[in-house]
């Protein structure tokens, strides 16, 4: 089912694995930077290579709106378009469409919504979402799911879950791009029984990987952790496990210890642009006046370009005067923080010392 995934080491529930893709191996656990519009904001593909990124996420909805999936296909696919030689995972567009509350109409066949670009009416179905992802030529395509709000009633949760199951069947029935892997998505909100039920329903379909969707959508972190601790270890052993849209450094450690292999989140990149820079022990806000005179780097010993070369004072200046360079340096730093956190976890799994690693990083992580 997923001949391309192998687990190389285990430590408790955690696993260190390798996922083979059309564009090279992805060592798991892995953090996937988000490149919504075919660029991880402020970074070039060469920057991502230098950071050691093995896989990025791109957003089907945004790329379908601009520049259009057909154009990307005609230009040789997303890898060629964004000059990225390593792996790409595309979401299905569902999450983006469902987060436009009140601007979309859902039925059993699919979703009608309005483009955020020009207001034009658009429609996504399981088949069209998979076809767009085939056009983009991503290495991993996500099933088209319905993602309910965190405060949805049990009835809404169940309805969304059942619809997601029906849609998942249509997704696995579609034709992927050559060598494209497909992941199914488990819904069920924060109800553990629903989550287990939906996991079983999705797991029986021939997806190459399994994802947990509908988390980190507003519920308290402890609630999300409880779902991950309960569901993570029950996900099929032989397939990669992906926790969508999560999260803080602490969230990642909890989930890795619960057997999750893959993550994506806008947090490191978006927080960077807003002035929040991750360091061991938490974060600093570069907008604070105290940094304006500080000759030290963001974090001593960090391998990123910002820390190797620049002071907090310089970054604080760039941030205050809104210089473009700030965004790049801050993004490089926060991604390095996330990537090295997860690489460290992988190494700890291989060496059988994940609990100590998690403890040492949790003690200081936000």
Which residues of this chain interact with its own copies, rule CB under 8 A?
37-39, 41-46, 66-67, 71, 74-76, 81-83, 292-293, 295, 305, 309-311, 313-314, 316-318, 320-321, 323-325, 327-329
In the complex, minimum distance from the CB of residue 66 to its own copies, in angstroms, rounded to a whole number: 6
* Closer residue to its own copies (CB): 50 or 250: 50
Backbone angles phi and psi of 302, in degrees to 5? -70, 140
* Closer residue to its own copies (CB): 260 or 332: 332
In the complex, minimum distance from the CB of residue 328 to its own copies, in angstroms, rounded to a whole number: 7
| DSSP class per residue in 55-83 | EEEE-HHHHHHTT-HHHHHHTT-HHHHTT
In the complex, minimum distance from the CB of residue 1 to its own copies, in angstroms, rounded to a whole number: 35
Instruction: Give yes or no: 264 in active site.
Output: yes
Q: Report the DSSP pairing between strands 24-28 and 87-90.
A: unpaired
* Closer residue to its own copies (CB): 311 or 340: 311
Q: How far is CA 301 from the centre of its chain?
A: 27
Q: SS3 of 148, please?
A: coil
Strands (E), 37-163: 55-58, 87-90, 104-106, 111-114, 121-124, 140-142
In the complex, minimum distance from the CB of residue 340 to its own copies, in angstroms, rounded to a whole number: 20
Active-site residue, selected from the candidate residues 91, 139, 145, 261: 91
Active-site residue, selected from the candidate residues 135, 208, 261, 264: 264
Using CA atoms, how far apart are residues 60 and 75, in angstroms rounded to an integer?
16
* Closer residue to its own copies (CB): 117 or 356: 117
* Closer residue to its own copies (CB): 196 or 320: 320
In the complex, minimum distance from the CB of residue 304 to its own copies, in angstroms, rounded to a whole number: 12
Q: Report the DSSP pairing between strands 181-186 and 140-142.
A: parallel
CA separation, residue 172 to residues 204, 265, 279 (Å) = 11, 25, 42
CB atoms within 10 A of CB 363: 9
Using CA atoms, how far apart are residues 155 and 165, in angstroms rounded to an integer?
15
- Among all residues, which ones are annotated catalytic? 91, 264
């Amino acid at each position: 089912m997923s001949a391309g995934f192998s687990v190389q080491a285990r430590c408790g529930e955690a696993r260190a694995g390798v996922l083979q893709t059309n564009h090279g191996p992805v060592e798991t656990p892995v953090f996937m930077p988000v490149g919504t519009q075919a660029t991880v904001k402020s970074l070039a593909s060469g920057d991502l290579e230098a950071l050691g990124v093995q896989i990025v996420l791109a957003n089907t909805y945004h790329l379908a709106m601009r520049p259009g999936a057909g154009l990307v296909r005609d230009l040789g696919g997303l890898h060629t378009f964004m000059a990225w030689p390593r792996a790409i995972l595309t979401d299905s567009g569902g999450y983006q469409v469902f987060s436009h509350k009140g601007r979309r109409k859902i039925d059993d066949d699919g979703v009608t919504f309005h483009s955020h670009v020009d207001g034009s009416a658009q429609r996504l179905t399981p088949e069209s979402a998979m076809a767009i992802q085939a056009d983009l030529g991503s290495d991993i395509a996500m099933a088209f799911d319905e993602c309910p709000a965190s405060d949805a009633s049990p009835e809404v949760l169940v309805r969304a879950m059942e619809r997601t199951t029906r849609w998942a069947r249509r997704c696995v029935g579609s034709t992927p791009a050559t060598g494209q892997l497909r992941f199914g998505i488990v819904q069920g909100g924060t109800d553990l029984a629903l989550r287990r039920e939906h996991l079983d329903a999705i797991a029986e379909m021939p997806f190459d990987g399994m994802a947990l969707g509908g988390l980190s959508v507003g519920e308290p972190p402890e609630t999300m952790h409880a779902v991950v601790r309960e569901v993570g270890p029950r996900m099929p052993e032989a397939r990669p496990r992906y926790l969508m849209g999560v999260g803080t450094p602490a969230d990642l450690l909890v989930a890795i210890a619960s057997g999750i292999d893959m993550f994506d989140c806008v947090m490191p990149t978006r927080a960077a642009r807003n002035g929040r820079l991750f360091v061991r022990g938490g974060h600093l806000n570069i907008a604070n006046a105290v940094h304006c005179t500080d000759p030290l780097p963001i974090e001593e010993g960090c391998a990123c370009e910002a820390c190797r070369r620049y002071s907090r004072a310089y970054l604080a200046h760039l941030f205050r005067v809104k210089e473009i360079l700030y965004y790049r340096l801050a993004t490089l730093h926060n991604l390095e923080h996330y990537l090295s956190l997860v690489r460290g976890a992988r190494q700890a799994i291989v060496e059988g010392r994940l609990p100590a690693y998690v403890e040492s990083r949790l003690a200081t992580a936000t």
